[in-house]
Amino acid sequence: MNNNFVIRVLLYITVLVMAIYFVCVLVPQKETTPSTTTHIPIEVTYSTPDGHLKEAAEYCDSLEYNRAFVILINLAPHSGNYRFFAFNLETNDTLLKGLVAHGHCQSTENRFAQFSNELGSNCSSLGHYRVGSQYEGSFGTSYKLYGLDSSNSNALSRYVVLHSHSCIPDEECKDDICLSEGCPTVSPMVLQQLIPYLENSTKPVLLWIYN
């Protein structure tokens, strides 16, 4: 083998190695911008309404409502938390829990629930409700809600009802969930779990929204 050829090969290899070293080590690398996340980093917490159970039981007794099945909705936490609970107040068992949407109040800037009883506000309304009859509406199976307090007395005329929507997840999440036009909206799975309780109840059922 020609010595000149060997020398040229070694020279080429040396130049190649030096070029790689220069590019990979000596030349500053361009900084990459962190990818933006779509979720808002709010901690998911398990929010229990235990402090309201006694008051709910007393309210049911005063109106002879069903104590074995009541629905409590705590709209104070972030919407990715479980805020919808059904209880048997006779046994203190939690029958089910789920996510629930609150009203958008004609704005997407308010991440947490805002409240109003005004017609056309599209806000959630605080207070006690009686769950009415089932019907088939624009969102499928739904239940009428009758407001029992001055804070939610317009529920029926505002078409505030209990219904489901596919935009509501089944599990807790860090993201905001979708908003409603004032209705307490749950996932289709949660509504299917609710239906037997509501249909088999021989007494009126209480739904209580608070914050």
Q: Who has greater pLDDT, 17 or 152? A: 152
Stretch 83-112: mean pLDDT, rounded? 92
Domain that holds residue 159: 50-210
Percent of the chain with pLDDT over 70: 76
Q: Who has greater pLDDT, 208 or 4? A: 208
Three-state secondary-structure class, residue 73: strand
Has residue 29 got a pLDDT over 90?
Answer: no
Buried b (16+ CB within 10 A) or exposed e, 162-201: bbbbeebeeebeeebbebbbbbbbbbbebbebbeebbeee
pLDDT at 140: 97
Domain-embedded: residue 190: yes
pLDDT at 108: 73
Q: What is the pLDDT of residues 129-184, one digit of tens each?
A: 999 999 999 999 999 999 999 999 999 999 999 999 999 999 999 999 999 999 99
DSSP 20-33: HHIIIIISPPPPPP
Domain-embedded: residue 22: no
Domain-embedded: residue 25: no
**198 neighbors 176 (Cβ within 8 angstroms):** no
Buried b (16+ CB within 10 A) or exposed e, 67-79: bbbbbbbbbebbb
Which residue's structure tokens are 């006690």?
Answer: 128
Confidence of residue 44 (pLDDT cuts 50, 70, 90): very low
Domain-embedded: residue 149: yes
Domain-embedded: residue 23: no
Domain-embedded: residue 63: yes
**Per residue, what are the HEC states of the chain?**
CCHHHHHHHHHHHHHHHHHHHHHHHHCCCCCCCCCCCCCCCCCCCCCCCHHHHHHHHHHHHHHCCCCCCEEEEECCCCCCCCCEEEEECCCCEEEEEECCECECCCCCCCCCCCECCCCCCCCECCEEEEEEEEEEECCEEEEEEEECCCCCCCCCCCCCEEEECCCCCCCCCCCCCCCECCCCEECHHHHHHHHHHHHHCCCCEEEEEEC
Has residue 66 got a pLDDT over 80?
Answer: yes
Has residue 32 got a pLDDT over 80?
Answer: no
Number of domains observed in the structure of the chain: 1
pLDDT at 2: 55
**115 neighbors 151 (Cβ within 8 angstroms):** yes
pLDDT at 42: 39
pLDDT at 1: 53
Domain-embedded: residue 32: no
Report which of 17, 49, 11 is spatially closest to residue 207, judged by C-alpha positions: 49
Domain-embedded: residue 145: yes
Percent of the chain with pLDDT over 90: 72
CATH number (domain holding residue 146): 2.40.440.10
Confidence of residue 94 (pLDDT cuts 50, 70, 90): very high
Across all residues in the chain, what is the average pLDDT?
85
Q: Who has greater pLDDT, 34 or 57? A: 57
Stretch 108-120: mean pLDDT, rounded? 88
